[in-house]
Amino acid sequence: MDSVLNTASEQLASQIENHLQTIYQGFETDIAQLVSDLISIMRLGSVEQVPVPYQNHWSQQDVIIITYGDSLLRADERAMTTLHRFLNEQCDDVINGVHVLPFFPYSSDDGFAVSDYYAVRESVGEWQDIQRLSAEYRLMSDLVINHGSGESEWFQNFIKGEGPGHDYYFTTSPDENLSEVVRPRTSPLLREVQTTDGVKYVWCTFSHDQIDFDFRNTGVLKEFVNIVRFYLDQGVNIFRLDAIAFLWKEPGTSCLNLEQTHEVVRLLRTLIEYACPSAMIITETNIPSRENLSYFGNANEAHCVYNFSLPPLLLHALITGQNFYLKQWMMSMPPAQDGTAFFNFIASHDGIGLRPVEGILPDSEVDLMIATMQDFGGHVSWRALDDGGKKPYEINIALFEALQGTVEGKDEFGEARFLCAHTIMLALEGIPGLYLHSLLATQNDHERVKATGHFRSINRHQWDYNELEQLLADHTSHHHRVFAAMKHLISIRTQQKAFHPNGTQFTLHLGEQVFGFWRQSIDRTQNIFCLNNISAESATLSLSDLNLIQTHDWRDLLSGQRYEDLLGSIELAPYQSIWLSNR
């Protein structure tokens, strides 16, 4: 047994050393000591076995809800208790995972300017609430690794020049060549700060209250590895690496997706896999599609990447009634190899990102989509360009409102269009993530935008739980209708082997109105043809176009209808979907 332990421990140490050599090449770093420190922090002194590569820690039964810890509020009850109550009492066992957006103390950006990584925000709950939730659901937590709050103790120590965190932040001179730095915002990159050691300029990728960390300092790396270990102990099983693409900075470069950033992700995967083989990393990289895919590495980096191109492309298809660009993108997407998977979503706490469709959607189509969303009550957030100009970065709108009509205006098909979008998403290769406010068909919260002054607040409504319960029980309410339909869709999806996140996917060519794709189970026993009318007009489809196997018994999983005449046709109502399965 000792020889096995030594072999596994030696392999772990060797892997960590290789990661660190890449990250800190050219720096005077005691690599051997750092290896020892990281193993100690993660409590990996005696490793029993090497993680098995290419393992899929997911199945078709995995569906994750994305929510803030305080999106549901009930008097005299901690918000996390109310969330737990909702999942247990309202979701009928169709949800097995939950992504609780930053539940830590913060100073801005609805949680993404963390002031204390080791605490739960009092208004949300306490660590016991997190542990109880993780005992019943697979729990995803943000690791806000790129930046921290300007009001944190660490940053106050930076200003004083002493104490924990005083050397954690990236500083540079305004005279450096920063012209190539890619920005997701229009605010100035550097913030001037008066410290006890004089004026310093700290790096702020997102806002002046979100100060970027300096991972050239190995103390920062050790701190975040310690945070990872702490979160694992609290029951966190999935780590969402927020804004990870911006992590490593080198003036004179784009400071985006640098090799050191990728290697930090690989290092974290190694440490997490040895500590908890079933745990996962998801990288949050709201960037063009090809760059986003690079975070899979060679199945040795992120377990999952967000399918960021899906939300804007699916929205565009449904408001135009044409699937050309969505289909072209689908055909270009490589299948995720074992050990990796796409994380599919079409709405989240953020806006609908536009960078992921760069090079896919022409500017004229993006402009059309923006104009339509503004007509439906949405807003546009911008990012700065190298030449001092700006470009649309994301559309801020509740998805239920975004799909209430087409480029021709509002119509009577809003709910059908909204459900069609989710029927498509739930059937795609990958793990589905459902934003709570989509599940509940929440509308634009204009009052919250006025109160916060931030466009993203439009899709971050806080529900009074008693009011929500009444609406969900009211059969005349669109919230009830959508919620019931969504749960029905999920309950069907989770029973189909062909919808395994790594099952085969092939894009079908069925014209502009019908967006179709074929899914096949890993064992090749189940085939599902996913047929979706994305237009406001009825569509007729010839079954012979699908080349269905005559000896199989084909039926629509959604309606139960059987199809015996395989030379016949299917009439699809506006926004109707069919999951045509052979079993």
Report the catalytic residues.
242
25 burial via Cβ count (<10 Å: 0-12, 13-18, 19+) = exposed
CA distance 1 to 51: 17
Cα(67)–Cα(70) distance, rounded to whole angstroms? Answer: 8
Task: Name the nearest CA neighbour of 482 among 396, 531, 414, 557.
Answer: 414
Task: Label each residue of 265-284 as H, E or C.
Answer: HHHHHHHHHHHCCCCEEEEC
- Between CA 464 and CA 75 the distance in angstroms is 9
The C-alpha atoms of residue 236 and residue 98 are separated, in whole angstroms, by 10
Q: Which residues contact 251 (CB under 8 A, 6 or more apart)?
A: 172, 176, 177, 178, 181
Q: What are phi and psi of 256, to 5 degrees?
A: -130, 130
The type of residue at 7 is: T
Apex 229 CA angle, 225 and 235, nearest 5: 140
**Distance between CA atoms of residues 567 and 547, nearest Å:** 9
Q: Within a 10 A sphere around the Cβ of 429, how many other Cβ atoms? A: 22
Residue 100 near residue 141 (C-beta atoms within 8 A): yes
Alpha helices per DSSP H over 27-78: 31-41
Contacts of 323 (CB under 8 A, 6+ apart): 317, 512, 513, 514, 515, 534
- Structure token digits, residue 460: 């971050």
Distance, first Cα to last Cα, the chain: 47
Residue with tokens 């993108």: 329
Element (H, E) at 73: strand 72-73
The whole-angstrom separation of Cα 354 and Cα 383 is 10
